Amino acid sequence: MLAKRIIPCLDIKDGRTVKGINFVGLRDAGDPVELGKLYSEAGADELVFLDITATHEKRKTLASLARSIAQHLTIPFTIGGGISSVQDVEVCLQAGADKVSINSAAVRNPDLINELALEFGSQCIVVAIDAKFIDPQWIVHVSGGRKATHLELFSWAKEVEEQGAGEILFTSMDHDGTKAGFANEALAKLSETLSIPIIASGGAGSKEHFVEVFQTGKADAALAASIFHFKEIEIQELKLFLKENGIVVR
């Protein structure tokens, strides 16, 4: 069995790490450079840096900030936010990223996924999918969760895989920031539908939630923000708990 990954996420707005609930009500969570260094030293498996208002504000990812964060890391690093071209990806990789995350741009132009995968390799391309359950289905949203699309989660995820994405980062907007647990039913269905790794995001609130997301949700990695930023759970403590529950971690 492949080891499960624990991934802290730095949501960046105006050069600061922020965290909200259901994508709104953002509060300051600290300096991203300091946090990135802290997580690298604390045993995180990877780090995700999302410039959460880049697409909405129609500007590019903060490459200079990404470069500052990357200098302090010894773990793989994914950058997302406002990435929409081969040139954008080149800038991010030169800034120190190992992978890039695309979301809104992939919805606008699905062929971009294939173009980037051919240019840089699938292992480098993460497609982030933000979705909200609007009965009877999960509806994909873009622009930092501000705009609903016509896309349904599972069919879009399958298309993303076929276009050459190496990984999917699925965030349940309903669970985001609630600390009530991950969207395990949807995650398990994604796992059955796809053959590429799935990173679960939205809802982490306890160590038990991580056990559930790996056992019930079948996720390959779990991403969380506020519980790490505000030191509610320490990463090494979490990994020990997962091992005690029979889950292989790095």
pLDDT value at residue 230: 81
Length of the chain: 250
Instruction: Determine the Cα angle at 159 with ends 91 and 129, to 5°.
Output: 60
Give the residue among 151, 112, 114 at the shortest CA–CA distance from 129.
151
pLDDT value at residue 21: 52
Maximum alpha-carbon separation in the chain: 46
The CA–CA distances, whole Å, from 165 to 3, 110, 133, 187 equal 20, 10, 23, 17
Instruction: Determine the Cα angle at 187 with ends 184 and 190, to 5°.
Output: 155
The one catalytic residue among 45, 88, 130, 220: 130
pLDDT tens for residues 222-234?
999 889 888 899 9
Q: Where are the beta strands (DSSP E) in 52-189?
A: 77-80, 99-102, 125-134, 137-142, 147-152, 167-172
Say yes or no to pLDDT of 20 above 60.
Answer: no
The one catalytic residue among 11, 45, 88, 220: 11
Spatial separation of the C-alpha atoms in residues 3 and 143, rounded to whole Å: 32
pLDDT value at residue 225: 86
pLDDT value at residue 23: 44
pTM: 0.91
Answer yes or no: are the C-beta atoms of 61 and 31 closer than 8 Å.
no
pLDDT band per the 50, 70, 90 thresholds, residue 34: confident
End-to-end CA distance of the chain: 12
Say yes or no to pLDDT of 22 above 60.
Answer: no
Whether residue 136 is preceded by a cis peptide bond, meaning omega within 30 degrees of 0, is yes
pLDDT tens for residues 129-185?
999 999 999 999 998 788 999 999 999 999 999 999 999 999 999 998 899 999 999
Q: What share of the chain is helix, strand, coil (3-state, %, to 5)?
A: 35, 30, 35
At 45, is the secondary structure helix, strand, or coil?
A: coil
Share of the chain above pLDDT 90, in %: 64
Give the residue among 56, 100, 57 at the shortest CA–CA distance from 77.
100
Answer yes or no: CATH 3.40.50.2300 is held by domain 5-244.
Answer: no
Is residue 31 among the annotated active site residues? no
Q: What is the mean pLDDT of residues 234-242?
A: 97
